Amino acid sequence: MLKRLRENKSFQGTLLVSPTLLWMIALLFIPLILTTIISFGTRNADGGVIYGFSFHNYVRLFGFSTDCPGGQASCFDPLYANILGRSLSLAFWTTVIVIALAYPLAYFIARAHPKRRNTFLMLVLVPLWTNFVIRVYAWMMLLREQGVINGIIGWVAARFGVQFEPLQMLYTPGAVLVGMVYEFLPFMILPIFTSLEKIDVPLYEAAADLGANPFRTFLRVTLPLSMPGVVAGTILVFIPVMGTFIVSDLLGGKQVILVGNLIQNQFLSARDPTFGSAASLILMIMTLIVTYFYTRKFGFGEEIIAV
């Protein structure tokens, strides 16, 4: 054994990666396999799993019901397909808005005086010290019918003698979008900042020297060189937004149900782990597909330089 260890390089390698490998097997592959097995089963009356091989859960997820009012074998029921679609579109718009907000901010921080730069970065990070759920609650306080925003508008309206009906902001898709953007903004700012900061000042000077005005310098030099940051940020934002349920649960209520909420419900209140497992797998596959095509187009956020 010891002799083999000394002489065999590939055996050494296997031994060295084995802790990581064990970790991956225990925490990733086994749960994944279990989820897959469960997703093909059916639920029994008290929320247990009857193992089997049925596509029943997947059929339901893609817009067909097996429990039709007319009694036929299957009929169209877009409830769950809509949830999947809504999750995708919300994740898409969240990412787009986050990029639009984060880029100028990151640019501003990267070009700020080095002395102030750390303060600005700190300010970006400070909200992350508070618990995720508490930050969502804070938005509830702001958006409620008797919340801060309605309060301020109402006060201003009263000063001008205008009739004001409190706005219904909480429990709307807009509230969920605002919450998501707020929660995930730092995860976009930081990678974009890092890639902007890496651009050497002489590159801007070279562009100006060759006749590029500031706008064209931005388009031809700054933007392409900071794309790795945008790509990395997109991956960091898109994937978790696809999966979270807290923001939509607290700010969307019953109105905005995402895959995350669906999965949570199936495991907790609806007591159908088989359907929940199927939804989890579909969420994972959808995210993988989007990320795959995205990274195929833009790379993984590494230097865009071919070797």
Q: Binding residues for another protein, per CB under 8 A?
A: 200, 202-203, 205-213, 216, 220-221, 224-225, 303-307
Closer to another protein at the Cβ: 1 or 305?
A: 305
CB of 233 to another protein, least distance (A): 18
CB of 196 to another protein, least distance (A): 14
Closer to another protein at the Cβ: 217 or 264?
A: 217
Q: Under a CB-based contact definition with an 8 Å cutoff, are residues 60 and 262 in contact?
A: no
For 43, 47, 84, 268, the CA distances from 271, given in Å and listed in that order, are: 8, 5, 20, 6
Closer to another protein at the Cβ: 2 or 306?
A: 306
Which residue from 155, 185, 153, 186 is spatially nearest to 169, judged by alpha carbons? 153
CB of 94 to another protein, least distance (A): 28
CB half-sphere exposure, 24, CA atoms < 13 A: 5
Residue 70 is given by DSSP the state T
d(C-alpha 244, C-alpha 263), whole Å: 10
Closer to another protein at the Cβ: 221 or 246?
A: 221
CB of 115 to another protein, least distance (A): 10
d(C-alpha 129, C-alpha 152), whole Å: 28
CB of 103 to another protein, least distance (A): 17
Find tokens 């509830």 and name the residue.
140
CB of 302 to another protein, least distance (A): 12
Closer to another protein at the Cβ: 42 or 295?
A: 295
CB of 296 to another protein, least distance (A): 18
List of E strands, the chain: 42-43, 49-50, 64-65, 75-76
112 Cβ contact list (under 8 Å, min separation 6) = 120
Which residue from 281, 253, 238 is spatially nearest to 55, judged by alpha carbons? 281
CA 293 to chain centre: 16
Closer to another protein at the Cβ: 223 or 246?
A: 223
Closer to another protein at the Cβ: 6 or 216?
A: 216
